Structure 1
Amino acid sequence: MKPPGHQRVKTARRRTAQSTRWLERQLNDPYVRRAKADGYRSRAAYKLIELDERFGFLKGAQRVVDLGLAPGGWSQVVRRQLSKSIVVGIDLLPVDPIDGVHILQLDFMTDAAPALLTDALGGPADLVLSDMAANTVGHPQTDALRTMALAEAAADFAYDVLRPGGAFVAKVFAGGADTAFVAELKRRFTTVKHAKPPASRKGSVEWFVVAQGFKGDAPR
């Protein structure tokens, strides 16, 4: 039985059943409605808010990098909570301007991206955020591996730009990151945790890894 107030969407002539289900889910998602009311560009903003409520990585951050910026919800959260922070974001997709955010429209995986981000940041980062995910191909193992590769690239970047004591937050799939990746994070950070915030849909396979207390150049 559908809950009271549930909105149904009729299948339009040019709309597939899949897109109709997606639209119906959007219309009935409380986080989507809340995002519109609060002025956030996406429901993903609440994932970051909920993760920060649990781990407190935003406190005191002065320089923040947002990898996989589009549509901009995470950077909006950072700027609202840290109005004087320097925020640099990157995405392959175009992103409408956000006050106080330096936006690069570029593939993070290109050779030029890390240097451009570092130059725009103007100093060591306090926090590196990555909500990057590969386009899905419908094969769970392949999708997880491709997103894991993005998380690993984001972590490598974080190792280069974070100040000692900084934090790294990244999306991973399939219940968490792989063993080698977590082992490397634990070698470089004081604490490493996995979390699935309430704003992540129940059916989603996304999780987030939160690494805090960057140790700087960890010995081999």
Structure 2
Amino acid sequence: MTQPSALPHPPALPRVAARPDPQERTPRVREVVAAAARVLEAEGQEALTMQRLGSELGIRAPSLYKHVAGKAAVEGLLVTDTFFALGDLGHRAVERPGRSGPVAALLRAYRRFALERPHTYRLASRPGVREHVQPGVEMWTGEVFWRAMGEPYLAQALWAFAHGTATLEIDGRFLPGSDLDRTWRAGARAFAGQRSRTG
């Protein structure tokens, strides 16, 4: 007679912080942010200028300042949206991880976002941009790593692995021929093992 198997991975911890309410935006601000997102992902951070946004929207660049304070404010809105997107993906991943467990599910979601939107991802990690980000959203997004690991320093280490590995992969910094799927799986196993020992 076979014994019932235990869950292979400890479940994620429950949420602590509620999802912040996105700040209200006028229709024109939403248009500016949507145009900025298109330019950023198609052409990179260097192309994201007020003049380029004005051209994308068919208006003169000075008119944009009636709606947004400048390029830094536009970048803050983009990064705010990035944190909301990453947070939603991460929280869903740890809540419905499937057989692989919350750590592996979180890393898969994080990697997929970073690789699908590399310029947006890199903008979100650039120094100085956070002062223009909606308060509270970055902390809510980061909470998902604590939910996956159950211990704050392990959560920081997991985030450092995810961010560092994603950045190196985007930049093509791994050795030619590296099996990066295997690299990510190895990281997931290592952190899930730590979670099992502390859970």
TM-score (normalizing by structure 2): 0.29
Structure 1 or 2: larger helix share?
Answer: 2
TM-score (norm 1): 0.27
Bigger RCO of structures 1 and 2 (CA < 8 A, at least 6 apart):
2
Higher strand share: 1
